[in-house]
Amino acid sequence: MSSVKIKLNPAEVEKLKEVCASFGNQSGELINVLHKAQSIFGYLPAEVQEIVAQELNVPVAKVYGVVTFYSFFTMIPKGQHPISVCTGTACYVRGAEKVLDEFKRRLKIEVGETSADGKFSLSCLRCVGACGLAPVVLVGEKVYGRVSADGVADILAEYE
Amino acid sequence: MEFVNLTIDNKTVKVEKGTSILKAARSVGIDIPTLCYMSLGDMNIENKPGGCRICVVEVEGRKNLAPACCTDAHTDMVIKTNTMRVLNARRTVLELILSDHPADCLICAKSGNCELQDMAHKLGVREIHYKGEMSTYKPDKSPSIIRDMDKCIMCRRCEMMCNQVQTVGALWGINRGFEAVVSPAFEMDLEKSTCTYCGQCVAVCPTGALTEVDHTNQVIRALADPNKTVVVQTAPAVRAALGEEFGLKPGTLVTGKMAAALRRLGFDFVFDTDFAADLTIMEEGTELLDRLGKFLNGDKEVKLPILTSCCPGWVNFFEKQFPEMKDIPSTARSPQQMFGAIAKTYFAEKIQTKREDMVVVSVMPCLAKKYECQRDEFATDGNPDVDFSISTRELANLIKGANIDFNLLPDEDFDNPMGDSTGAAVIFGTTGGVIEAAVRSAYELHTKKKLEKVDFEQLRGLEGVREATIDFDGLPIRIGIAHGLGNARKLLEDIKAGKSDFHAIEIMACPGGCIGGGGQPLHHGDSSILKARQIAIYQEDKNKPIRKSHENPFIIKLYEEYLGHPMSEKAHHLLHTHYFDKKNEFLIE
């Protein structure tokens, strides 16, 4: 958990409250609201979870329980350039793990973490439907195909 | 009503449709073992997440074993509860649970009272065949409750009590897979969460994961100090449950033995919280009549209904979740705190002892009392009115540790002047009791007439929310009662919405009231124990020569000698309090 209070952008907070209202502030819509919240803030810090709890009238412990249960939700801010390595079956058998290890080694972070300078974050995903290009890496919206461990440095260099 | 017929271990069973296999089996004396499952049937409290898999049984025609607690019985089912396959599965499941459990039973607070330990014994586990990673979590110690989640087996009983029954929302299952555990939000300490310290999580925890903060050593130290005058008070519900710790039948009243034991432990004065309960009625009852009088005279500002304030779990609940209503509860302190305040002033003066040289110990069925006595507003110059609050269970340990054979003790009386009480005070220990005690006195004080029948059956029972109208000589007084904080929440929401027509509401945080408190001997899911304690409480009331608080001669004397009259300036200073907005500060402006 973050012990430091994060100052949220008031406009984004307003947007979050509108999202809650658009779901009728129904406690049953918690997961849907969290999805939207994460797309607004990029991640789900404690402060955002508290607002959601307040708006939907559910215990914040429950919100945290849901956030920590589903791997899609994250409490760590995404980097400026989020890197996703596909570890679906096709990519995996064609060496995705080596590619992933190279990203970890170069960025000195684990999956789910963000580099100290906030530039890159690393995550895994399962199949983007481009198995012909396996192994596939996404940086932001950009797709890289047939990536090898040797090619990782070049990809990162594009964003330095 | 529709019934189903099935066979369990070659016995024919007929049960109502929708009954679980577990209940069907138990109805014919087949005791399928359970671990995560728990039921307090009379109060509609049931935990059956089907998580532990200890209760699996073989159902003919079904490929997988079925968890008996959450599989419905169907017609023509043929069930076997003790085949080789079942026994092996059950043992494997238990060994896997034990493989991630610290094996420190010898020094665990729950040893001898642990359902996991009992299960290992019952299934005859002599070896754990699995070794692997162990879960480790940071320990969390609040003023009342200790969480040692290394010992959590994810039965989720605490989560069910905290959310479904109490609606406190402090605990929830977080993470997934091996990392899954029950925790406050953001893994913060319990103290920072919405926890009310009601202790219902502790009361149902099958292992040593949730226990109370133990104050027995501080009490022993105070008793051993020759310079301290050590005064003890015992809450009403303790006498109806303490005997269980010594093998006595639930519902056995041990008031006399308890007083004798406390004297043998070395307490200088053995007093009774019941005395302070009578005092509470004087103050709270007067406050009720005062507000009622103003209301009847057309005062629009007056806050009604008045809510009782004896229960510290309930006080924590509204301070943290309904702070906007903090002006509604009575300002009367709880009996524990009234006792402490009077002991360290009136009584200390009487025996010419300085407050620093007096130690007040309370024995409570409650864990929230531990927190309550540590609140800043209940101390003078840093010296608390009540120094230590120990639970019924802790008292039992003290008695056992002092080599006292409880069952052979004679019945003894409490000391005076703070040991004498009325029947009205005793019933504070059960849901409905505080308001019945208040009605007995308020009726006579308001109508100036003698109350012929002091038993108000319409206020009694174990129904979660109850209501009654009591005739105050032509004036109908509407009374509400809730026990369990989830039930309290319903009444609070009504008040908030302006839909409440009650004049007075009694609220107790724990199901059953103090008889079911978080500090009582563990009921292990047997609600007949709570019923037996309730019957004992009303029996004690019946046995008392005086049954109305305002007729307690020592209370009358206390007002004459010291306080003046109820709600006097001195009474306000010593016996009343105020409440705080403790809603977690919202992080965003």
Instruction: Return the pLDDT at B588.
Output: 42
The answer to whether A49 contacts B586, with C-beta atoms less than 8 Å apart, is no
State pLDDT tens for residues B371-416. 999 999 999 999 999 999 999 999 999 999 999 999 999 999 999 9
State pLDDT tens for residues B49-104. 999 999 999 999 999 999 999 999 999 999 999 999 999 999 999 999 999 999 89
Instruction: Return the pLDDT at B418.
Output: 97
The domains of chain A are located at: 10-69, 81-157
Q: What SS3 string covers B162-219?
A: HHHHCCCCCCEEECCHHHCEEECHHHCCHHHCCCCCCCHHHHHCCCCCEEECCCHHHH
State pLDDT tens for residues B531-582. 999 999 999 999 999 999 999 999 999 999 999 999 999 999 999 999 999 9
- Non-local (6+) Cβ contacts of A154 within 8 A are none
Tokens matching residue B159: 């989560």
Please state the length of chain A: 160
Q: What percent of chain A has pLDDT over 70?
A: 96
Do B274 and B464 meet the contact criterion of CB atoms below 8 Å apart? no
State pLDDT tens for residues A19-67. 999 999 999 999 999 999 999 998 999 999 999 999 999 999 999 999 9
Alpha helix stretches (DSSP H) within B334-408: 335-342, 348-350, 368-372, 392-401
| B46 a catalytic residue | no
What is the rounded average pLDDT of the residues B264-286?
97
Instruction: Return the pLDDT at B389.
Output: 98
The answer to whether B175 contacts A68, with C-beta atoms less than 8 Å apart, is yes
Query: What is the CATH architecture assignment of B98-212?
Result: 2-Layer Sandwich (3.30)
What CATH number does domain B217-575 carry, 3.40.50.1780, 3.40.50.970, 3.40.50.1820, 3.10.580.10? 3.40.50.1780
Instruction: Please tell me the distance in Å from A46's CA to the nearest CA on chain B.
Output: 7
In which element (H, E) is residue B345 found?
none
Instruction: Return the pLDDT at B584.
Output: 67
Instruction: Return the pLDDT at A128.
Output: 84
Residue ranges of B 135-174 with Cβ closer than 8 A to chain A: 163, 168-174
On the question of a cis peptide bond just before residue B476, with omega within 30 degrees of 0, the verdict is: no
Distance of alpha carbon B118 from the chain centroid:
24
Tokens matching residue B536: 């004992």
Q: Per-residue pLDDT for B441 more than 80?
A: yes
What is the rounded average pLDDT of the residues B221-249?
98
Say whether residue B471 is in contact with chain A using an 8 A CB cutoff.
no
| B514 a catalytic residue | yes
State pLDDT tens for residues B165-175. 999 999 999 99
Q: Per-residue pLDDT for B585 more than 70?
A: no
Of A1, A49, A61, the CB nearest to B170: A61
Instruction: Return the pLDDT at A4.
Output: 53
DSSP structural state of residue B92? H
| B310 a catalytic residue | yes
Chain B residues within an 8 Å CB radius of A68: 174-176
Do B341 and B383 meet the contact criterion of CB atoms below 8 Å apart? no
The domains of chain B are located at: 3-82, 98-212, 217-575
Most confident of A1-5, A118-122, B210-214: B210-214
Core vs surface per residue B249-287: b (16+ CB within 10 A) or e: ebbbbbbebbbbbbbbbebbbbbbbbbbbbbbbbbbbbb
Instruction: Return the pLDDT at B583.
Output: 85
Q: What is the dihedral of CA A53, A54, A60, A64, to 10 degrees?
A: 30
d(CA A113, CA B211): 36
Q: Which of B514, B540, B544, B549 is catalytic?
A: B514
- Cβ neighbours, 10 Å, residue B289: 19
Nearest to residue B116, comparing CAs of B54, B212, B206? B206
The answer to whether A60 contacts B187, with C-beta atoms less than 8 Å apart, is no
- Cβ neighbours, 10 Å, residue A21: 10
Average pLDDT, chain B: 95
Chain A residues within an 8 Å CB radius of B588: 8, 13, 47, 50-51
Q: Which residue of A has its CA nearest to B190?
A: A61
State pLDDT tens for residues B333-381. 999 999 999 999 999 999 999 999 999 999 999 999 999 999 999 999 9
- Non-local (6+) Cβ contacts of B73 within 8 A are B4, B6, B13, B15, B19, B20, B21, B23, B24
Task: Classify A57 as helix, strand or coil.
Answer: coil
Q: Which of B158, B310, B311, B366 is catalytic?
A: B310
- Split at pLDDT 50, 70, 90, the class of B243 is very high
Task: Classify B41 as helix, strand or coil.
Answer: helix
Chain A residues within an 8 Å CB radius of B174: 61, 64-65, 68-69
- Non-local (6+) Cβ contacts of B453 within 8 A are none
Instruction: Return the pLDDT at A8.
Output: 87
- Split at pLDDT 50, 70, 90, the class of B43 is confident
- ipTM over cut 0.95: no
Average pLDDT, chain A: 92
Chain B residues within an 8 Å CB radius of A5: 587
Task: Classify B418 as helix, strand or coil.
Answer: coil
Which homologous superfamily does the CATH classification assign to the domain defined by A81-157? Glutaredoxin (3.40.30.10)
Instruction: Return the pLDDT at B342.
Output: 98
Query: What is the CATH architecture assignment of B3-82?
Result: Roll (3.10)
